[in-house]
Amino acid sequence: MTARSYAGVALCCAVIEPYVRRSDHGAAWFLARTLRRLVEAGGVRKQDIDGLCVSSFTLLPDTAVAFTQHIGLSPRMLEWLPMGGACGVIALRRAARAVQAGDAEIVACIAGDTANETSFRELAANFSRFSREAVYPYGAGGPTASFALIADAYMRATGATRQDFGKLAVAQRANAARNPRALLRGALSLDDYLGARPIAEPLHLFDCVMPCAGADGFLVMPETRARALELPFVRILGAIERHNAFPDDPVALRGGWAMDREALWSQAGFGPRDVQVIETYDDYPFISMLHFEGLGFCPPGEAPDFVRRHEFTIEGDRPHNTGGGQLSCGQAGAAGGYLGLVEAMRQLLRQADGRQVAVARHALVGGFGMINYDRGLCSAAAVLGRA
Amino acid sequence: MIRLQRCAECGAAQYPPREACATCLSERLVWQSADQLPARVLARTRLHHTNEPRFRAVLPLTLGLVRFELGPVAVCLLAGTVVPGDAVQVRVSTDDLLEAT
């Protein structure tokens, strides 16, 4: 069965609560600030927001439910989406369908987390039952140890090299130099990348994101309402999600996108060549390469060649993670799952200031998250277009 | 003691332990020792960083992903000479971790 289109739905008001390395505030502080930014950017009253999607790790033990009381909101549609790197695209899907069905008119989608000395360790130690039982006791390397095993298998299977990973990381840092919100803006050379200390081989320091605090958000509403509010907006041309894809793959050398890629591009009515901006969930550069393969930018196993043949900076032929991605902006917990989506909106709305891609009509946003045991379980993607 | 599970209805093996069979949803699961089971190494990492101070003294640590001949995949410690592709035997080490040799 073919999914209905997302026609008539507007995506507006990309906002970011600036990232900071550490914070004494709780997650609710970042989420409340983001909601306030959305209210101001949208020109609406707080009580006009009748739908809410929330993602956060450090909000726990509270969920979206407790958060409504925390901030005094009475939505008629509420989603708690603990889906890590896929939560932005999935929030967009839930919100868009709620708007189309009339279950809500203005949906605020927000994700954010705080960060302090112990938050990352606590999150890693209790990430899931499987990881607590069968991964964490093996040296407590956290997600990087698990992704290192996949990266090792990926390099053996495809011939990918550290130079390939480094090319992506270096291009993203060059993009970040033009994004005042990125926490890591200092120049990064390929030699810097290659010479960095190992964390879990083959992954080294600049393969890893820096945990931080912050939040991102956007509004979803009917196009008619966006027009009435005089808000510029972006359209959803296609969107997919898939969970626990390909469970029989011994090592997860692919995400779940391949199961739904054809539906995505068929819904969009064009293919990867007609996309000018690519935003992937870069918890590690090789995960961006899995996006390229899974979403049809190159055949399976050929991302190393794709990386060698293209340039990924703002002025390159394949602008990618144009704000610097998580590798340079920092990973503000669940907000990492929104970062690429919010950046894609800015590019399409021509709000990307000093890093605007010259021609940006269509953008691809990927999401990937939740390494429950030996692989990321949630894959998602959306194709967005200028209205 | 680290163990695999076998489904009494469909025979599937699984790890980490679950409350139901991931193949047929049966709850009739029986335990099978992971000790001495044959497996193959899929991937390897040398871990230099830990989130837990108690592990600092043992770093760097060599970890692997192995696939039991019975099917399931496990994270384990790797003996020094073992590399991906090798056929190994998995045993339960004295500190109750899986180790492939």
User: Whole-number mean pLDDT of chain B?
Assistant: 95
**According to the model, what pLDDT value does residue A163 have?**
98
Q: Which of B17, B51, B74 sits opposite A121 (nearest CB)?
A: B51
pLDDT at B68 over 80: yes
Q: Which of A140, A153, A198 sits opposite B42 (nearest CB)?
A: A153
Q: Stretch B75-96: mean pLDDT, rounded?
A: 94
Does B84 lie at the interface with A, CB-CB under 8 angstroms? yes
Q: Confidence band (pLDDT; 50, 70, 90) for B9?
A: very high
For A2-58, the DSSP string reads: PPPP-TTEEEEEEEEEEEES--SS-HHHHHHHHHHHHHHHHT--GGG--EEEEE-ST
A211 and A121 Cβ atoms separated by less than 8 Å? no
What's the Cα-to-Cα distance from A124 to each of A93, A139, A205, A226, rounded to whole Å? 28, 12, 18, 40
Does B23 lie at the interface with A, CB-CB under 8 angstroms? no
**According to the model, what pLDDT value does residue A272 have?**
98
Element (H, E) at A94: helix A87-101
CB contacts, 8 Å: B50 with chain A:
139-141
Task: Identify from B5, B15, B18, B49 which residue to disrupt to test chain A contact, counting A C-beta atoms within 10 A and taking the largest count.
Answer: B49
Nearest chain B residue to A203, by CA: B45
Tokens of A76: 């008629």
Query: Helix, strand or coil for residue A373?
Result: coil
- The whole model's pTM is what? 0.97
**According to the model, what pLDDT value does residue B36 have?**
94
Q: Which of B22, B61, B73 sits opposite A139 (nearest CB)?
A: B61
pLDDT in tens, A31-87: 999 999 999 999 999 999 999 999 999 999 999 999 999 999 999 999 999 999 999
Determine whether the interchain pair A156/B43 forms a contact, defined as Cβ–Cβ distance below 8 Å: yes
Tokens of A217: 């958000």
Residues 6+ apart with CB under 8 A from A350: A356, A360
**According to the model, what pLDDT value does residue B80 have?**
86
**According to the model, what pLDDT value does residue A2 have?**
84
Residue with tokens 């994101």: A209
CB contacts, 8 Å: A152 with chain B:
43-45, 84
B68 and B59 Cβ atoms separated by less than 8 Å? no
CB contacts, 8 Å: A247 with chain B:
22
Determine whether the interchain pair A247/B22 forms a contact, defined as Cβ–Cβ distance below 8 Å: yes
In order along its 387 residues, chain A shows pLDDT tens digits of: 789 999 999 999 999 999 999 999 999 999 999 999 999 999 999 999 999 999 999 999 999 999 999 999 999 999 999 999 999 999 999 999 999 999 999 999 999 999 998 888 888 888 999 999 999 999 999 999 999 999 999 999 999 999 999 999 999 999 999 999 999 999 999 999 999 999 999 999 999 999 999 999 999 999 999 999 999 999 999 999 999 999 999 999 999 999 999 999 999 999 999 999 999 999 999 999 999 999 999 999 999 999 999 999 999 999 999 999 999 999 999 999 999 999 999 999 999 999 999 999 999 999 999 999 999 999 999 999 998
Q: Tell me how many residue pairs between chain A and chain B have CB atoms under 8 A apart.
A: 94
Distance from CA of A252 to the nearest CA of B (A): 11
Element (H, E) at A132: helix A129-134
Determine whether the interchain pair B47/A156 forms a contact, defined as Cβ–Cβ distance below 8 Å: no
**According to the model, what pLDDT value does residue A164 have?**
98
Nearest chain B residue to A200, by CA: B47
Phi/psi of residue A167, nearest 5 degrees: -60, -40
Give the rounded distance of the alpha carbon of B68 from its chain centre. Answer: 8
Q: Confidence band (pLDDT; 50, 70, 90) for B45?
A: very high
CB contacts, 8 Å: B70 with chain A:
none
Nearest chain B residue to A117, by CA: B51
Tokens of A160: 């990918």
Does B24 lie at the interface with A, CB-CB under 8 angstroms? no
Q: Which of residues 29-48 of B touch A (CB under 8 A)?
A: 42-48
**According to the model, what pLDDT value does residue A120 have?**
86
Nearest chain A residue to B42, by CA: A153
Determine whether the interchain pair A129/B16 forms a contact, defined as Cβ–Cβ distance below 8 Å: yes
CB contacts, 8 Å: A138 with chain B:
61, 63, 75-77, 97
**According to the model, what pLDDT value does residue A287 have?**
98
Taking the C-alpha atoms of residue A202 and residue A151, their distance in angstroms, rounded to an integer, is: 7
Query: A74 burial class (0-12, 13-18, 19+ CB within 10 angstroms)?
Result: exposed
Phi/psi of residue A221, nearest 5 degrees: -160, 170
